[in-house]
Amino acid sequence: MATTKNCKVCGNNTFSEGILGNGFTSITPANKVLGSSRLILTICKKCGEVTSMKVENPKKFQ
């Protein structure tokens, strides 16, 4: 079953994804020296609100 989500700010229901991380802005686990992952952001196409963030490689944080 598909779910429709709406932006909390403007009510729009169309979103786009972007990636944050180019080697300098990636997220690193707090308890490890090596290993990082880029962040995938879901962005409202109307107002630009970031509605979610998730790591691209969650296994690096286990």
Residue 48 backbone zone (phi > 0: left; psi -120 to 50: alpha; other: beta): left
- pTM across the whole model: 0.74
14 contacts 45 by C-beta, under 8 angstroms: yes
| 2-6, 28-32, 54-58: segment of lowest average pLDDT | 2-6
> According to the model, what pLDDT value does residue 22 have?
72
Task: Report, as an integer, the average pLDDT of 38-52.
Answer: 94
Q: How confident is the model at residue 59 (pLDDT cuts 50, 70, 90)?
A: confident
> According to the model, what pLDDT value does residue 44 have?
96
Which residue has better confidence, 20 or 26? 20
